[in-house]
Amino acid sequence: MKRTVPLMIVMVGGILMMVQYFIPHQYSQVIFNNYLEWAPIVGAFALILGVGSLTRLHSHKIRRKAQNWQYSWAVLIPLFGMPFFALIVPQSLGGGSDVHGVHDFLFMHIQVPIQSTMFSLLAFYIASAAFRAFRAKSALATILLLAAVIVMLGQVPIGDVLGKWLPNTGLWILRYPNLAAKRAIMLGVGFGMLATNLKIIFGVERNWLGGAGK
Amino acid sequence: MRINWIGIPAALIFLMIPSLSVAQDSVENLTPTDTSVSEMVTEDAAAEEIEAQPAAGELLLEADPGLDTSGMITVQDKPNDAGDQLVVTFEPAVNPEGIQCYNVYRRIAGEESEDAWNRVKVIPADEPPEFIDGYDPEYPIKPGIFYEYRIASVSLENVEYFGSVYGAEIAAKGELFHTNKVRLLIAGGLFITLIFYYFWKAQRGTKMYLRPIAGIEAIDEAIGRATEMGKPILYVPGISTISDVATIASLTILGRVAKRIAEYQTRIIVPNMDPIVYTVAEEAVKQAYLEAGRPDSYDPDSVFFLTQSQFAYVAGVNGIMMRDRPATNFYLGMFYAESLILAETGSLSGAIQIAGTDAVTQLPFFITTCDYTLIGEELYAASAYLGHEPKQIGAVKGQDACKAIVMSLITLALVLGILDLVANTHTLDWFRNLVTVSIVE
């Protein structure tokens, strides 16, 4: 029962969603829209479990005085502090420039800059990864390096100055060999998705059921 | 002389009565003959009424011979929809001079109120006099309901001149089959049949060969290395939701990887970004420890939810990498901009890294920074490789058969293209029309 009911729900739901794609009728659309509305509701309840998990993990670390346990306070204090401040000035949750609660201040002056900092690290990591990728150790690596140089120079104004062939060749590389490879991958991904979906819908793949799968 | 104070007002009233009577007569005489005054009054009232309508021009008037109005309006049901769209066509004004655009108004048939009219479309005068009504979510078309339309020609001064009201002869109706998706249905049916055929073949015990994939074969080696070093294994199931097939594929791999980890008695760390993915991942790992016969080794703190914020998640996972120094990092699932930050940090920490994603844009980052990368479909096939179950292997062979069909079609198109060049024929166009499926209507 514990296994059959979820499998039946998945099978009926999966077939229904496949069939509804070909039925544009309003009743078919109602079913689809209802499904779309339910998904975030389930997600909202699962978030409670998520917050519970995070709290449990870090409270265990603090209790056990595990290695680096002090950092757990840095998680737990904002985890409960931010909703607390949002409750004091609930308007700050809606955003807008004329609301200046503590929550708003912390969000704008701590969270946003930290996130921007994390994102900006990407630039340095790209440079480091590019340095590693473009070392001409073999014939194929040399071709990769040459292609990269042409595409990069083709994208910047200096490439145009060096010669019209640079941006044109760069564009050709992007449009033909690059796009062909991308499409080949996407084609395989499409069939992979189809096979995975069929395996799940018809109960061949049951790992997602966790404990109920066996 | 004694003044009669009562007599004076009485005399004045007496004198006023005839003059009032004369004035009334003059108005009565004027009304039936001078119609222009009456029309002016009516027009003013109409203008006031129309002004109350929403989103109309600055000054609204009834039809004025000064600006031509549109002609007949034709309404048709749009095919292959949910009964929420109508195709509206109208004859534009014969003399378009001075018309900047047409405002199309709609109301439910039978409603008399002027307020019932809603402006559903503005069509510039130089654009085709046709549109699909029902796109505006504020004024939806409901199936089975008849509507009336009227169109106003809008002058350069933003004054509206209304044409006649036309009632639609048909109501919108939803269809039971999308006729433009016939080719998709045939192709889908063919591919699904092929995959089922290989399921069936595998179930009958037919031996099938799967080419080895280095990334999957390295999984055992990577787990063994972590065990030897006494360090944990980090498994990142992507940052997408459970509705993403890549995430589901990742969770199936997690189950199989966790089983090996449980057998080797190594620690696993699974930080999650989506709360639903977290609950499924927790169940999968718990079950894997149970299957490995080591339920007591399962640590409830090994699978946890981190945050739903993308870069906060990256910061958290990078922190785990730098503090706990896992010997092996798995990045399997859907990734976005964070892929390189994760993989580069893992590379700096000295871990063996195995990545797999179907996100084409993130693949180069993983290939550059990871030791092994499962490219696209290999992520979906990994579960079959690890499980060695006949049906799973059948599904992979089914995928391969589908790809073989598509490759044959591409080769055929190539041959036809060369033939067209050599013999100056148009066979490729014919072939293209045969296999093309319109994605956007």
- Amino acid identity, residue B162? F
The C-alpha atoms of residue B356 and residue B370 are separated, in whole angstroms, by 10
Q: Where are the domains of chain A?
A: 1-88, 134-203
pLDDT above 70 as % of chain B: 84
Q: Contacts of residue A39 in chain B, CB cutoff 8 Å?
A: 243
- Which residues neighbour A82 within 8 Å (Cβ) at sequence distance 6 or greater? A103, A106, A107
As beta bridge partners, residue B161 has B61, B153
- Pairwise CB contact (< 8 Å): B178 & A22: yes
- The whole-number pLDDT of residue B38 equals 33
Predicted confidence at residue B11, as pLDDT, reads: 52
Write down the pTM of the prediction.
Answer: 0.81
Report the C-alpha gap between B242 and B252 in whole angstroms. Answer: 12
**Residues whose CB is less than 8 angstroms from the CB of residue A201 and which lie 6 or more positions away in sequence, other chains included:** A10, A11, A14, A15, A18
Class of CATH domain B48-167: mainly beta
pLDDT at residue number A131: 87
Picking from A124, A175, A126, the residue whose alpha carbon sits closest to that of residue A151 is A175
Please, are residues B120 and B99 in contact by the beta-carbon 8 Å criterion? no
CB nearest to B305's CB, from A53, A68, A188? A53
How many whole angstroms separate alpha carbon B131 and alpha carbon B119?
Answer: 13
Question: Are the beta carbons of A129 and B344 separated by less than 8 Å?
Answer: yes
Pairs of CB atoms within 8 A across A/B: 205
Residue pair B233/B418 in contact by the 8 Å Cβ criterion: no
Instruction: Give the largest CA-CA distance in chain B.
Output: 142
* C-alpha to C-alpha distance for B58 and A106, rounded to whole angstroms: 47
**Which A residues, 48 through 67, put their C-beta within 8 Å of a C-beta on chain B?**
48-51, 53-54, 56-57, 60, 67
Q: Taking 80 as the threshold, does the pLDDT of residue B20 lie above it? A: no
Question: How far is B90 from B150, CA to CA, in rounded Å?
Answer: 10
Confidence of residue B422 (pLDDT cuts 50, 70, 90): very high
Return the structure tokens found at B37: 């005054």
Q: Is the pLDDT of residue B25 over 60?
A: no
Pair B187, B93: CB distance under 8 Å: no
CATH architecture designation of domain B208-388:
3-Layer(aba) Sandwich (3.40)
pLDDT at B219: 94
pLDDT along chain A (214 residues), means of 10: 86 92 93 87 89 94 93 94 84 61 86 93 91 86 92 92 93 95 94 92 80 51
Using an 8 Å Cβ cutoff, are A45 and B279 in contact?
A: no
Contact (Cβ atoms closer than 8 angstroms) between residue B81 and residue B177:
no
| Residue-wise pLDDT tens digits, B308-318 | 999 999 999 99
CB of B171 closer than 8 Å to CB of B146:
yes
Which are the contacts of B344, defined by CB distance < 8 A and separation ≥ 6? A125, A128, A129, B369
Q: CA of A211, closest CA in chain B: separation in Å?
A: 5
Above 80 in pLDDT, residue B2?
no
Compute chain B's Rg from CA coordinates.
38
The Cβ-side half-sphere exposure at B172, using a 13 Å CA radius, reads: 25
Cβ-defined contact of A121 to B341 (cutoff 8 Å)? yes
Mean pLDDT throughout B28-51? 37
Domain map (residue ranges) of chain B: 48-167, 208-388
Q: Which of B358, B397, B407 to mutate to test the interface with A (most CBs of A within 10 A)?
A: B358
Within 10 A of B197 (CB to CB), how many other CB atoms are there?
14
Of B307, B368, B379, B306, nearest to B343 by C-alpha is: B368
Q: Tokens 């049916």 label which residue?
A: B189
For strands B147-155 and B159-167, give the pairing: antiparallel
Pull the structure tokens for residue B339. 């892929």
CA torsion B121-B123-B129-B134 (nearest 10°) is -20
Note which residues in 110-129 of chain A have CB less than 8 A from chain B: 111, 114-115, 118-119, 121-122, 125-126, 128-129
Binary contact (B344, A194; C-beta < 8 A): no
Of B174, B287, B344, the CB nearest to A210: B287
Between CA B40 and CA B79 the distance in angstroms is: 47
Predicted local confidence at residue B45, as pLDDT: 40
For residue B218, the distance in angstroms to the closest alpha carbon of chain A comes to: 21
Nearest beta carbon to residue B395 from set A121, A186, A204: A204
Q: What is the pLDDT of residue A209?
A: 72
* Of B57-66, B225-234, B246-255, the least confident: B57-66
Residues of A in contact with B413 (CB under 8 A): none
Q: What are phi and psi of B232, to 5 degrees?
A: -75, 170
